[in-house]
Structure 1
């Protein structure tokens, strides 16, 4: 073991030294390489000036479309990334020059002077520093300008989107506007008929139809089978798998197979689209409608599949337990209406010329009002499912979330149609349909979390109680974070907005001259974890291989191991800070401002921490010692930095702050040695032979194997008590841990010897004197008591003998008035 531990310790020491002492070298090399790269790829400021001027002119004219603004924004974002990289130009040289300036000491105050050669050298270094800092300052300026242009573009696009949403159209419930909508339908049908008849009249198209007729027939047959029978077949297969497979794997396998309920009909719809394209009879308008069919099928069958899993037999995991069948029906209908909305958009978008505002209002409002009915009912089901179930503390948050979602659906179902009826059709569409898609995203996230939990339970072989473990909760949290970007896109956020957020996050934030970014934080965490693991490895080697072979006691070994742990954590933190390139001088002002408040708030913690270090160094107590502190008596089981763990004789744990052990009075019964004195008081009746009693007690004490011979035990005649002659046995035990055992044995032998020798162990006696016994006798006989005679004076002392009528009380009777 010693041969194995020595190389391990050498390796650990070398790694700690490398982490603490040589950590800056890789960071410096990386910084130098980045500086050289930035210098080689310096931005072309002439081209940038032209692009920036053009962008500012476009924003001032405010004539460009949103697409043009997005393209211009992409170019400016590229420039901004270059300027950010150029800000660290000459970083290594700047640090070197600053160190040289610092070496000359502080600059002289106003009115003072310094040596001419030092002043000349300081001026030259300052001039060199200014030249080195110039590229970085120029890059910072250009970065600010690019960032400002990007912000203006984003603000302009958002303002246009808001104006579009708040645009009021003619009310769809006004009959005057209905002819415009009817005209759109007529025009669309005529366009479809004209395109189809024109394609039929074309001989080339008819030849294409004739040549592709077998393939078209095959496409149609397979499409019909997949659309008509596919969903039901896959549903029956899923149900059969759920019933026949093992408990752990059936849900996951059934879920994978059940995806066929979505994929099979969508594939059938794609075959139908392929058949129409192969015929060659579809024109531009018909092609737009046909190409929308796969998306329509995907939306409908996905809603049907999702409702079956979320509100199916396992719905308890999603927080819903009542009204599942009705909820499945409403979600399926919502999916159908949303599919019709996709088909409507494909029908109306291709209209040329564009629809009038009245026609758009008439065509956009009906489906919004129809889907709102089912959304409102679904919200009611969610709320009632929570209210009907008995309240459980574990599901309180989940129930609150489900209830909140139900309330939100009911609110959207009321507000959306109202806005559409008034004329804010764009706003109504922007509110209702994103709500539907968000509801689908939420259900899909819950479903993925459930499947991931099933995989976790299958791997760990845990029961259903494992669903409430930490790992499933963390999986849910990660999936929730992953769902935030799609949710933002659903509610109108642009991809550029998300990329801007990610760019800001990647760039981090600056504290003084140090920029904190995710890469820096990742480096810090990685190096610190490595240092922490290395520290634990060294501690384990010390505890198991090195310290047990030394002459140190257990307490000293724990103190050394704890000290190595603290030093290792300090070196790990220092190495992590150095490797990440974090400049702590930037935090000096913050630390100074917070030091006073933290000092007051952590005063007790710091006091206990320092006391713990003192205990580990001075070791006035160690593990295994029997101590008494603050009225608590027990054995020390552990000493940590903040507190000490004591186990009392009734097997309860007492946590004592280390400050009490340092500042208070502590009695250590076993420190240095285990010897301790035992004192046993003994009382005998008056009239006993005191010399004989002393000899018996001495003989009993000397006969105990744990009583030391030197010094010999002694018997003390301590005095005359009220009821007994008092003696004390005083002996020194070789192991004070057996104090109670020895005391019990001595008392047993005393009782046996005294009984054999006729020595009485007294007990307290009390006399009760009745002042008027005649009155009590008359009352007992039912006669009226006579006048009470005068009270005689109380005797000076009660008679020693026991008289009839005397009552003898136990000396430990709590009701004894004396």
Structure 2
């Protein structure tokens, strides 16, 4: 038998060695392929970093060159991280295999076989190679970050030099002479190219490709018009509402503006699709056409919004109750601002297409910047914004904010005009247009917030079908619908704040590519020391946690309403099952959320172990109450609905929570009792196992009454009451010979002890009536006072009675007696 066991062990060892050898061989082959790919990628990365370093030393880079360099460097960083993510599992696998072989035997121990030695050497070699590759890939990111930082520094320095440099003043004669010199320059070639493109545009149109696009655009416009019609019926101007609130007016004005701008936007889209998407224009002319169409879109939107907000069909639906002349001036200024924006956009695009001279660029920036600054100053005149009638709270808040910054904006625009006239034209152009764009972004986000607020509260109010369905699904009352609307508006507000921050950064000079990189780094994760923080992981963990809690709530509700009522379980058992499901779901949600967030549970366990002593002392009472709550749930000395007496408090158990138990007294007051007090203290539970209970009623009768008759009457009354159990039978005890009465006690058992007070009252009514009919007297305590001797000078009762009789017969005697008494009073 021992020989067979030895042979089996050798065979098992042989097969394990063979399997380990095959596994090592396959992993080595796979690692060789990955090593080759890594070496090739490393060569490409080194070449890319070398080329970007040379570009950095070259210095003559445009804005597009900076963006291309950032793209290439980000691509290198991403590839390096991908290789690291592929190599780290191989590293951990090799480490586990080496640990599986055990430590190297010492000299006094049995040496390893040749196969084990070869496998160990192979694994160590592979592990060293993989570790080296991971370190090389990890060194790429710091080098990329260094290069990106150097490029960003150069870009910032160039931006500062371009914006804050002083050039010639606008009244310089040489500046004007150079600006209008067009013959023999690139402008002449551009105009010829533009004329040729306009003349041949109709011949290049391929209607077979354009007509389907037109059909799609027209269909989308038709569907949009139908949706706007439905929205206007629900949220638009309503004749029945004489004085609409602010949110309704803003939403109605927004819908009217969209309806007014629908046809022009559709036409501009058709033109854009025909000229741009049809590829019938040269790239340079195409950029100019896109700028023109975008400028016309700005003007269309400005005209539609000002018309809908300042001049609606009904005057009571005006968003701002301004005077008609002031409203007309505001509308004209807003349209001109949109026109200046369009002209400036067109000038910038044309200057990029045609290598314009510095004079032409400066003069174009000067005219657009000064015109925009003057328009903003005119728009911020206080005389334009005198509102009549009742001002809404939202407008009042914005008005107070605007009144604080109005003078600052006007002063800032005046300073920029002066700066442009003394030669700081780029700075004035940059500051003026970015400030106006920031204000427009703020108004747009405020408009979206108001629209979301009105739509959310209208839909959740129950007036719309969607809102009613949502309230029925979520089982929401009016307060719950208001809370849901509040959270929806709050979440949308937070999202608008984030969008506003992103928009402001883009407006004031941050490149979209760089901002996108920052956002990606923040979402995908960044490291602080050895801790990696990823907002995406945190958001996913939060959503999983909330989703698991919601699923637990739905499942617990399903158990409580559908499954458990069909069983014959006690109500307390059902409550315990429901509570257990809730706690289990909460624990599972916490574990899922922590795992999804990428937190290392081992580190948390170490920290928890280190803080366990302090937490034990600081949270001792909380932990005690928590454990006591679990005992109450599973041991069930009390359950929801029980009638309990704890100390001086008495009432029904309303809810058993983790930390404390809520008891509702008969006065409808809530008493919160820590769970530890219920476990460690004394508690009376009237309905612990059943609702059966005994009622004790004490009665006293006169000494002259027949005791047997009293017993029969009391027994009969208790037996005839519907709330008293026939078995055990009611009985009467002769308790004592009282000072004034014979004391009896009626004892009976009730079907429901919770009706104790009402049954006791019914029995007392019946006893009182039966005693009156039987002539049985219920005595009350009496005391007789005997006076042995009357002190001298004090009249006896007989004397007082005689005086009363005399007064009754002779009123004059009573009057003279009163006068004598008055005379005897001391002065």
| TM-score, with length taken from structure 2 | 0.67
Match for residue 673 of structure 1? 690
Contact 2:258–2:304 (CA<8 Å) still a contact in 1? Answer: no
Bigger shift: 336-345 or 287-296?
287-296
| Alignment partner of 1:143 is 2:145 | no
| Alignment partner of 1:48 is 2:45 | yes
Compute the displacement of 1:368 (Å).
4.0
User: CA 1:51–1:664 in structure 2 vs 1: closer, same or farther (change >3 Å)?
Assistant: same
Match for residue 427 of structure 2? 427
CA distance in 1, matches of 2:313, 2:679: 59
Which deviations, in whole Å up to 9, do the C-alpha atoms of 1:225-270 show, x marking residues without a partner?
Answer: xxxxxxxxx9xx99xx989973457858755432236437858998
CA distance in 2, matches of 1:553, 1:621: 12
Contact 1:683–1:725 (CA<8 Å) still a contact in 2? Answer: yes
Match for residue 76 of structure 2? 79
Bigger shift: 482-491 or 507-516?
507-516
Which deviations, in whole Å up to 9, do the C-alpha atoms of 1:183-237 show, x marking residues without a partner?
Answer: 467557x899x969997xx9x989997x99999xxxxxxxxxxxxxxxxxx9xx9
Contact 1:86–1:139 (CA<8 Å) still a contact in 2? Answer: yes
CA distance in 1, matches of 2:556, 2:286: 73
| Alignment partner of 1:413 is 2:430 | no
CA distance in 1, matches of 2:143, 2:559: 59
Match for residue 233 of structure 2? 246
CA distance in 2, matches of 1:461, 1:719: 73
Bigger shift: 614-623 or 708-717?
708-717
Compute the displacement of 1:81 (Å).
0.9
Which deviations, in whole Å up to 9, do the C-alpha atoms of 1:405-453 show, x marking residues without a partner?
Answer: 6644553332132144145443333232123223333444455566666
Where 1:672 maps in the other structure, the secondary structure is coil
CA distance in 2, matches of 1:400, 1:385: 14
Which deviations, in whole Å up to 9, do the C-alpha atoms of 1:144-174 show, x marking residues without a partner?
Answer: 21122112222331233234333345666xx
Q: How many equivalent residue pairs?
A: 710
Compute the displacement of 1:380 (Å).
8.1
CA distance in 2, matches of 1:35, 1:411: 66
Compute the displacement of 1:506 (Å).
4.2
CA distance in 2, matches of 1:410, 1:268: 43
Where 2:381 maps in the other structure, the secondary structure is helix
Greater RCO (Cα-Cα under 8 Å, separation 6 or more): 1
Match for residue 460 of structure 1? 466
Match for residue 339 of structure 1? 339
| Alignment partner of 1:736 is 2:753 | yes
User: CA 1:151–1:116 in structure 2 vs 1: closer, same or farther (change >3 Å)?
Assistant: farther
Q: Which runs of 5+ in 2 are unaligned?
A: 1-27, 205-220, 238-251, 472-477, 788-792, 801-813
CA distance in 1, matches of 2:77, 2:405: 41
| Alignment partner of 1:369 is 2:369 | no
CA distance in 1, matches of 2:365, 2:34: 55
CA distance in 2, matches of 1:534, 1:271: 48
Contact 1:296–1:343 (CA<8 Å) still a contact in 2? Answer: yes
Match for residue 132 of structure 2? 134
Contact 2:380–2:410 (CA<8 Å) still a contact in 1? Answer: yes
Match for residue 90 of structure 2? 93
Bigger shift: 581-590 or 78-87?
581-590
CA distance in 2, matches of 1:147, 1:782: 120
Compute the displacement of 1:618 (Å).
0.8
CA distance in 2, matches of 1:435, 1:387: 31
Where 1:671 maps in the other structure, the secondary structure is coil
Where 1:90 maps in the other structure, the secondary structure is helix
Bigger shift: 254-263 or 77-86?
254-263
Match for residue 265 of structure 2? 263
CA distance in 2, matches of 1:785, 1:98: 124
Which deviations, in whole Å up to 9, do the C-alpha atoms of 1:75-97 show, x marking residues without a partner?
Answer: 21111111111222332232234
Match for residue 153 of structure 1? 151
- Superposed, 1:258-657 pairs within 5 Å as 258-260=260-262, 262-263=264-265, 293-310=292-309, 321-323=320-322, 326=326, 329-330=329-330, 332-340=332-340, 342-343=342-343, 346=346, 349=351, 352-355=356-359, 363=367, 365-377=369-381, 381=385, 389=391, 400=397, 403-404=400-401, 407-408=404-405, 410-422=407-419, 423=422, 424-448=424-448, 454=455, 457=459, 460=466, 470-471=487-488, 473-482=490-499, 484-510=501-527, 517=534, 520=537, 552-567=569-584, 569-571=586-588, 574=591, 583-588=600-605, 591=608, 605-650=622-667, 654-657=671-674
CA distance in 1, matches of 2:293, 2:766: 100
Which deviations, in whole Å up to 9, do the C-alpha atoms of 1:556-605 show, x marking residues without a partner?
Answer: 23323433454455456556766887642344455557767766776555
CA distance in 2, matches of 1:386, 1:160: 50
Compute the displacement of 1:743 (Å).
0.8
Choose which of 692, 707, 715 in structure 1 pairs with 2:733.
715
Contact 2:692–2:750 (CA<8 Å) still a contact in 1? Answer: yes
CA distance in 2, matches of 1:336, 1:710: 98
CA distance in 2, matches of 1:694, 1:420: 110
User: CA 1:630–1:154 in structure 2 vs 1: closer, same or farther (change >3 Å)?
Assistant: farther
Indicate the RMSD between aligned Cα atoms, in angstroms.
6.0
Where 1:616 maps in the other structure, the secondary structure is helix
Match for residue 222 of structure 1? none
CA distance in 2, matches of 1:258, 1:77: 45
Match for residue 23 of structure 2? none
User: CA 1:730–1:104 in structure 2 vs 1: closer, same or farther (change >3 Å)?
Assistant: farther
CA distance in 2, matches of 1:312, 1:600: 70
Compute the displacement of 1:305 (Å).
1.6
Which deviations, in whole Å up to 9, do the C-alpha atoms of 1:23-42 show, x marking residues without a partner?
Answer: xxxxxxxxx9x999976742
CA distance in 2, matches of 1:115, 1:316: 101
- Superposed, 1:180-191 pairs within 5 Å as 183=177, 187=181
Compute the displacement of 1:336 (Å).
1.1
CA distance in 1, matches of 2:570, 2:178: 95
CA distance in 2, matches of 1:183, 1:607: 90
User: CA 1:777–1:322 in structure 2 vs 1: closer, same or farther (change >3 Å)?
Assistant: farther
Q: Which runs of 5+ in 1 are unaligned?
A: 1-31, 216-233, 789-818
Contact 2:693–2:753 (CA<8 Å) still a contact in 1? Answer: yes
